[in-house]
Amino acid sequence: MSDYTVGIVGTGPHPDESDHDGYSMGYRHARSYRTVGGCRVDACTDVVSEHAKAFGDEFDLDGCVFTDLEEMLDTAEPDIVSICTPPSTHADLVETCARHDGVRAVHCEKPMATTFGESRRLVEVCDDADVQLTINLQNRCSDAAAEVKTVIEDGTIGDLERIEIGRQDLLQTGLHHIDLANYVMGDEPVEWILGQIDYPEEHVWYTDMAAEVQSLGMWEYESGVYALCSTGNGMDAVGSRTNRFVGTEGEIEFQLFDRYRIRTTKSGEWETVDVGGDHAQDEAIAVVVDALETDGDPIVSGERALGGTEIVFGVWESARRRSRVSLPLEIDDNPLEAMIEAGELPSA
């Protein structure tokens, strides 16, 4: 295997100093790269010099610590760049990396961006530059997710009829579960989406990314399988952090861990299945490196991530139009943010 060098963009504060684990994803990425043969973390950059220095000390980067991305790219010349900054910065950072001669792969944190147009842009600029783009929707890389997919394909719960999803919100937390639904469906196209949202008070991630307080979304896959997603105050209708796959002869519940539970019409009782396996984050980084080595099609590709992203923006667009929307989605903006700015979402 080739020896790939890695640069981390957006270290964030040390996890011990952070009040939100998502602000320190650079540490997670770096630790996962260390578990994969054939690559090493060589450099980092963060606009906060103290954060970059602490990261450099943690991972023994021997002075390859920067506060400017282009300086890091020119000096360290990494083969792979992991982007772990807030989503509003992703489009410009991905493009800067993709346009640099030395970069061969970009692995970007989710969500892809804060607008659908910029989310598409990530894929387009990397395609144009012939750079591998992957998005850190790591849970589809887990052994448990793979087994759930296989069990469903084997017909253990009969014909799959419906997928149910419950999570805190759509774009930040729910995207993992929507992506898992797409993974189980073989990233099958979605025909239409119908959605409604509630935004009675300010609700933001990363200081600048709005999220609905509650939503209810429904969509239909090309094969006729339906999906229902309930977030916020309604997530317990499905179960917090849950993907439920309902078939004609049983159902499966999966909550992003190394186990799932299954109940068939034959048994009538829930059975918990422990799968084990490596941590999903480690598995995702292994997929990134292996795909680069083999020129393969990574299961966390930007194109696949765009499918789940389109569903999120589709729910918001349906709420904006007050009608069902057909895909592909032909918008560039963020419907939720547009409605907030226009005062179209009444307060409670």
Query: What are the tens digits of pLDDT across the range 87-105?
Result: 999 999 999 999 999 999 9
Q: Extract the tokens encoding 215.
A: 């939503």
Alpha-carbon distance of 275 to 143, in angstroms, equals 7
Does residue 246 carry a pLDDT above 80?
yes
Report whether 18 contacts 50 (CB < 8 A).
Answer: no
Most confidently predicted of 22-26, 222-226, 265-269 = 222-226
Query: Mean pLDDT score of the chain, rounded to an integer?
Result: 95
CA 12, CA 291: separation in Å to the nearest integer?
27
| Spatial contact of 106 and 94, defined as CB atoms under 8 Å apart | yes
DSSP 8-state secondary structure symbol assigned to residue 242: E
Q: Sorting pLDDT into bands at 50, 70 and 90, what band is 19?
A: low
Q: What is the pLDDT of residue 239?
A: 82
Please say if the pLDDT value at position 252 is more than 90: yes
Q: Coil, strand, or helix at residue 237?
A: helix
* Contact status, residue 156 vs residue 128, Cβ threshold 8 Å: no
Q: pLDDT digit string (tens) for 138-186? A: 999 999 999 999 999 999 999 999 999 999 999 999 999 999 999 999 9
Domain map of the chain by residue range? 4-138+282-299, 140-277+307-341
Q: Report whether 235 contacts 168 (CB < 8 A).
A: yes
CA distances from 222 to 39, 101, 170, 226 (A): 39, 39, 22, 9
Q: Is the pLDDT of residue 294 over 70?
A: yes
Contact by Cβ (8 Å): 233, 220: no
Cβ neighbours of 60 (radius 10 Å): 8
The domain defined by 140-277+307-341 folds into Dihydrodipicolinate Reductase; domain 2 (3.30.360)
The SS3 of residue 102 is coil
Give the mean pLDDT of 306-331: 98
DSSP assignment of 283-321 equals HHHHHHHHHHHHT---TTBHHHHHHHHHHHHHHHHHHHH
CA dist 135 and 305 (Å) reads 6
Sequence-distant (6+) residues with CB within 8 A of 335 are 313, 316, 317, 319, 320
Round to the nearest angstrom and report the end-to-end CA distance of the chain. Answer: 58
pLDDT in tens, 181-208: 999 999 999 999 999 999 999 999 888 8
Query: What percent of the chain has pLDDT above 70?
Result: 98
> What is the arithmetic mean of pLDDT over 240-266?
94
The band of 348, judged by pLDDT with boundaries at 50, 70 and 90, is very low
**For position 20, what pLDDT does the model report?**
62
Burial letters 203-237, b for 16+ CB under 10 A, else e: bebbeebbbbbbbbbbbbbeeebebbbbbbeebee
Question: So what's the pLDDT on residue 172?
Answer: 94
Q: Which has the higher per-residue pLDDT, 20 or 257?
A: 257
How far apart CA 284 and CA 79 sit, in angstroms, is 17
Of 246, 181, 187, nearest to 217 by C-alpha is 181
H-only helix segments in the chain: 25-33, 49-58, 69-76, 90-98, 116-129, 143-153, 175-184, 280-294, 302-321, 335-341
Asked whether residue 51 carries a pLDDT value surpassing 50, the answer given is yes
Are the C-beta atoms of residues 105 and 288 closer than 8 Å to each other? yes
Measured distance CA(65)–CA(57) in Å, rounded: 9
- The H or E element that residue 192 is part of is strand 190-198
The answer to whether the beta carbons of residues 2 and 293 sit under 8 Å apart is yes
Burial label, 116 (beta-carbon count in 10 A; 0-12, 13-18, 19+): buried
User: Which pLDDT belongs to residue 257?
Assistant: 87
- Give dist(CA 169, CA 65) in Å, integer: 35
CATH of region 4-138+282-299: 3.40.50.720
Average pLDDT over residues 233-249: 91
pLDDT (0 to 100) of residue 240: 81
